[in-house]
Amino acid sequence: MLAWGGHQLLPGPSSAGSCTGNRLKASREVEPVDLPNCHLVRGVESGSEDIDILPSGLAFLSVGLKVPGIQCFAPEKPGGILLLDLNQDKPRALELRVSRGFDLTSFNPHGISTFIDEDGAVYLFVANHPEFKSTVEIFRFEEEDNSLLHLKTVRHELLPSVNDVVAVGPEHFYATNSHYFSDLFLKYLEVYLNLRWTNVIYYSPEGVRVVADGFDSANGITMSPDEKYVYVADSFAHEIHVMEKHANRSLTQVKVLHLDTVVDNLSIDPSTGDLWVGCHPNCLKLIIYDASNPPASEVLRIQNVLSEAPAVTTVYANNGSVLQGSTVASVYGGQLLIGTLFHRALQCQL
Ligand SMILES: *[C@@H]1O[C@H](CO)[C@@H](O)[C@H](O)[C@H]1NC(C)=O
Ligand SMILES: CC(=O)N[C@H]1CO[C@H](CO)[C@@H](O)[C@@H]1O
Ligand SMILES: [Ca+2]
Ligand SMILES: [Ca+2]
Tens-place pLDDT, residues 261-271: 666 668 899 99
Q: What are phi and psi of 57, to 5 degrees?
A: 95, 5
Measured in Å, residue 37 CA sits from the centre of ligand 2 at 26
Q: How remote is the C-alpha of 241 from its chain's centroid?
A: 15
Q: Look at ligand 1, atom 8, and give the residue with the nearest C-alpha.
A: 321
Decide if 263 contacts 239 (C-beta within 8 A).
yes
Decide if 294 contacts 286 (C-beta within 8 A).
no
Ligand nearest 68 Cα, by number? 2
Reported as a pLDDT band with limits 50, 70 and 90, residue 196 is low
Who contacts 142 (Cβ-Cβ below 8 Å, separation ≥6)? 148, 149
| Rounded-to-integer distance, Cα 47 and Cα 44, Å | 7
DSSP for residue 93: P
List binding-site positions for Ca(2+). Answer: 49-50, 112, 163-164, 219, 264-265
The two most distant CA atoms of the chain are separated, in Å, by 52
Question: What is the average per-residue pLDDT within 197-215?
Answer: 90
- Ligand 2 cavity residues, CB under 6 Å: 49-50, 110-111, 163-164, 219-220, 264-265, 327-328, 341
| Rounded-to-integer distance, Cα 106 and Cα 77, Å | 10
Measured in Å, residue 327 CA sits from the centre of ligand 4 at 7
| Rounded-to-integer distance, Cα 185 and Cα 125, Å | 28
| Rounded-to-integer distance, Cα 188 and Cα 38, Å | 37
Angle at 13 between CA 11 and CA 15, to 5 degrees: 125
Question: What is the average per-residue pLDDT within 207-218?
Answer: 86
110 is catalytic: yes
Reported as a pLDDT band with limits 50, 70 and 90, residue 343 is confident
Q: Look at ligand 2, atom 1, and give the residue with the nearest C-alpha.
A: 111
| Domain 21-349: CATH architecture, name and number where available | 6 Propeller (2.120)
Measured in Å, residue 237 CA sits from the centre of ligand 1 at 28
Query: Does 342 score more than 90 pLDDT?
Result: no
Neighbours of 112 (CB within 10 A): 26
- Strands 251-258 and 239-245 turn out to be antiparallel
Who contacts 304 (Cβ-Cβ below 8 Å, separation ≥6)? 310, 311
pLDDT tens digits along 217-252 = 777 889 999 999 999 988 767 788 999 999 999 999
Q: Where are the domains of the chain?
A: 21-349
Question: What is the average per-residue pLDDT within 303-332?
Answer: 90
Query: Does 11 score more than 50 pLDDT?
Result: no
Measured in Å, residue 290 CA sits from the centre of ligand 3 at 28
SS3 110: strand
Q: Pick the catalytic residue: 110, 129, 280, 343? A: 110
Q: What are phi and psi of 186, to 5 degrees?
A: -65, -30
